[in-house]
Structure 1
Amino acid sequence: MITIGFIGCGGIAREYLQRLDQLGAAARVVAFCDIDRERAAALAAGREARLYTDYRAMLASEQLDAVFDCLPPFARADELVLAAARGCAIFTTKPLGLDLDTARRSLAAIEAAGVINSVGYMFRYSGITDYARQLIADRPVAMVV
């Protein structure tokens, strides 16, 4: 069984948690972290999971196989770096960083630790994205706004 911790317990975390629930016994979320303890408790409702308000404490206390980083991009700090250092596979919402230095620091930590990482670009495989590719396939694009 894969043990998972969530960092950030807002709306997008709820969406990912619903998908994880479809895996059944293969994955178990054992920890939820949010600066708003009530929000973490609401997401964890009905589960045997520990609650945290500091991701550093969660990563130090838990034996996690994977972390779902569901923080909004503006709220990100070093949680990816710390999760990678703890050997956790990491799923994070896009973008990896709001600036190139942050993205490079996270990527370097992930590569150094040799952990699995995925950045969720939800629309990559949607029908509208395929349609947009078809529209511009044979046309030069000067600028996409």
Structure 2
Amino acid sequence: MSKIKVGVIGCGSIAKHRHLPEYANNNNVEIIAVCDIVKERVSEIAKEYQAIAYTDYEELLANPEVDAVSVCTPNYLHAPISIAALQAGKHVLCEKPMATSIKDAEQMIEAAKESNKKLMIAHNQRFVPSHQKARQLIEKGEVGKIYSFRTAFGHGGPEGWSADGVNSWFFKKEQAYIGALGDLGVHKTDLLRFILGEEFTDVGAFVETSSKENADVDDTAVCVLKTESGIIGTLAASWSYVSKEDNSTIIYGENAILRLEDDPVNSLVVQYKNGEVVKYELGGIQTNDAGGQTNTQVIDQFVSALIENTEPVVNGEEGYKSLKVVLAALQSSETRQITSL
């Protein structure tokens, strides 16, 4: 079978550390085009991957050789570029958050339907082994009724990770629209929806900019969430955790407590009601600290959906449902009221 020819639009850190190396490691893919508005950056990447360099994404999309693209740009460009790519007949893997408004997300889903092309959103938390295992235990009924949860995703902020450091687009409202909630919080809303197997119905949130002087977006957010069956819990998303990254989730059930990514060695610890404790060493979650060399599986999942002509696991609808929760959290913080989804 001929290889899938891929273009990557936006050559910042997420492309450099995740998309490009993971495409390069997939035998079914050939990276043929890369695009970035920073000419030096894209020239360097193009040389490394022997791809054509573009500084205008429309020119890349006009290349008939390109079958699929990754959209790794600042948030405000996710929707317009994804829609243009789908309309140009390309499959799309878009970074999260998929869009900065409900309307834009809906238009992306519509464009995928109309063009009959795949749209996947790069939510990688579902593919983490401990998260998969937790979902299985819950599905099998081993944990019993779920009462509550708490989840956090926080680190010192994008300046340590983003290609532009402290001058990063992440801190600028007109380019990012949403800060830590869109960068980290949306990963956790997606994860919780996946693990609990339920949708959220209500969100209350406090959202602040307290640690970043150069930001006009949120850098610290704490949300209270409720699902359709009445499971309640908290979600914290922050760029103000100055030491080790926190990426943990704890699920409190009738028969057991599940601790995910909460212990440095055992990625899942199950504490049963009867006092028994089971520890699983399933391999860690990908962190920005580790140089990000572990495979997130996002690319492999996207590629296999293209090869097998199946619906991507995290399709546009899934990305949309996860986005809705963080946008509702922003609304709740602004109105000082619980937002119903």
Q: TM-score, normalised by structure 2?
A: 0.39
Matching residue of 2:196: none
**Structure number with higher helix proportion:** 1
Contact 2:93 2:122 in 1 (8 A): yes
| Aligned-partner Cα distance in 2 for 1:137–1:38 | 55
Q: How does 1:1-145 map to 2 (within 5 A)?
A: 1-14=3-16, 15-24=18-27, 26-127=28-129, 129=131, 138-139=146-147, 140-145=230-235
Distance 1:105 1:27 in 2: 28
Tell me the CA shift for residue 33 of structure 1: 0.6
- CA drift of 1:61 comes to 3.4
CA distance in 1, matches of 2:82, 2:37: 17
Deviation of 1:87 after TM superposition, in Å, equals 1.2
SS at match of 1:30: strand
The question of whether the paired residues in 1 share the 8 Å contact of 2:79 and 2:105 is answered with no
Amino acid at match of 1:18: P
Deviation, structure 1 residue 72:
2.6
Q: CA RMSD in A?
A: 2.3
Stretches of structure 2 that go unaligned for 5 or more consecutive residues are: 148-229, 236-341
Aligned residue-pair number: 144
The SS at the match of 2:49 is: coil
Name the CA distance, whole Å, in 2 between partners of 1:45 and 1:136: 54
Q: Deviations over 1:9-43 (max 9, x none)?
A: 0111121111111123x311111111111111222
DSSP 3-state at the match of 1:78? helix
Q: Which secondary structure does the structure 1 equivalent of 2:69 belong to?
A: strand
SS at match of 1:23: coil
How far did residue 60 of structure 1 move? 1.6
SS of 1:46 mapped into structure 2: helix
Matched AA of 1:141: I
Question: Any stretches of 5+ residues in structure 1 without a counterpart?
Answer: none
Q: Which is greater in Rg?
A: 2
The more displaced of 29-38 and 42-51 is 42-51
Kept after mapping to 1: 8 A contact 2:71/2:92: yes
Note closer, same or farther for the CA distance 1:108–1:44 as it changes in structure 2 (3 Å cut).
Answer: same
**In structure 1, C-alpha distance between the alignment counterparts of 2:15 and 2:144, rounded to whole Å:** 33
Distance 1:137 1:45, change over 3 A: farther
C-alpha displacement of 1:144: 3.1
TM-score under structure 1 length normalisation = 0.85
